Amino acid sequence: MFGKVRREIDIFLKNMFEIEKKLVYNEENKEGIDKLISSAVFIKEVVNDDVYYDTENSDLLVKEIYLRTRNGLFELKVSQSEKKKSIRGIEQHIEIENEDEIRKYLNMKNNTEEVEIPPHCLIKKNGELKDDLEKAGYVPKFSYKVTRKKYKSGKFVIDFDEADYGFTTVEIELLVEKEEEMAGAMKKIIDFAKSYGLEKSPERGKLFEYIYRFNKKAYKRVVDAGIV
């Protein structure tokens, strides 16, 4: 999907690919989700404090590049879903957690024509990643806390998420090591969800629901970009 940049990234990253289906916990899905949760094994409960970084103009967001801290640790999630092949509610991401690799990825994207991120946003390694990002123009833009209850059902990970702004979702997730395994994982997730009568997906996940409610300017940008 990302051509030359994608191949270069594969050289220095051992990537895990995340495939997930999102569901809203509402009256329509409540019965099926309750059955799903009751049949799964509870793993743990955590509270995640998520802060998303971007340029003032949301240049990462409109390219489906999500840079955040979760409980103080940086993560980068990059969409792998080709719009023509994507299925509503199914998301595919590559995840990068190493700070040096996050720098490399963002600087690679800045040095190509594939993603139009302002050239002044090159991240020079002068100190802490947070400080260097802010010097390059990446600032905290969206933040919320999520109480997450994590479950396991076979190979599937199930996250029951209650956001502090009044939005509850469920994510059914599989992780694969190879890009060619993603289509098969997607089908397994869809079939698994259908077995509980869970087919309809939300218009927006937690991040975009937050932006829709609290930042109309950024939401207009993602709508214009065809992301939601």
Mean predicted confidence (pLDDT) in 20-34? 93
pLDDT tens profile 90-112: 566 788 898 888 888 888 655 44
pLDDT of residue 143: 98
Crossing angle of helices 99-110 and 3-12, in 10° steps, is 160
Mean predicted confidence (pLDDT) in 159-169? 97
Residue 72 binned pLDDT confidence (cut-offs 50, 70, 90): very high
User: What is d(CA 164, CA 51) in angstroms, rounded to the nearest whole number?
Assistant: 13
Q: Tell me the whole-structure pTM to 2 decimals.
A: 0.80
pLDDT of residue 109: 59
pLDDT of residue 136: 86
pLDDT of residue 15: 57
Give the tokens for residue 77.
């999630």
pLDDT of residue 131: 87
For the chain, what is the radius of gyration of the CA atoms? 18
pLDDT of residue 119: 47
pLDDT of residue 79: 82
pLDDT of residue 103: 87
Of 96-100, 109-113, 133-137, 146-150, which gets the smallest average pLDDT?
109-113
pLDDT of residue 61: 93
User: What is d(CA 189, CA 156) in angstroms, rounded to the nearest whole number?
Assistant: 8
- Which of 117, 136, 115, 118 is CA-nearest to residue 127? 136
67, 89, 129, 140, 159 from 96: Cα distances, Å: 10, 22, 14, 19, 20
Residue 159 CB partners (closer than 8 Å, separation 6+): 148, 149, 150, 151, 170, 171, 173
pLDDT of residue 215: 96
Q: 62 with 116: CB under 8 angstroms? A: no
Residue 2 has pLDDT above 50, yes or no: no
pLDDT of residue 122: 59
Other Cβ atoms within 10 Å of 228 Cβ, number: 13
Mean predicted confidence (pLDDT) in 58-66? 92
Alpha helices in the chain (DSSP H): 3-12, 30-39, 99-110, 129-135, 182-194, 206-214, 216-224
Kindly tell me the burial class for residue 41, based on how many C-beta atoms sit within 10 Å of its own C-beta (0-12, 13-18, 19 or more): exposed
CA 207 to chain centre: 9
pLDDT tens profile 178-205: 878 888 998 999 999 999 999 877 778 8
Q: What domains appear along the chain, each with residue ranges and CATH number? A: 3-224 (2.40.320.10)
Of 47-51, 67-71, 72-76, 123-127, which gets the smallest average pLDDT?
123-127
- The mean of the pLDDT values for the chain is 83
pLDDT of residue 40: 98
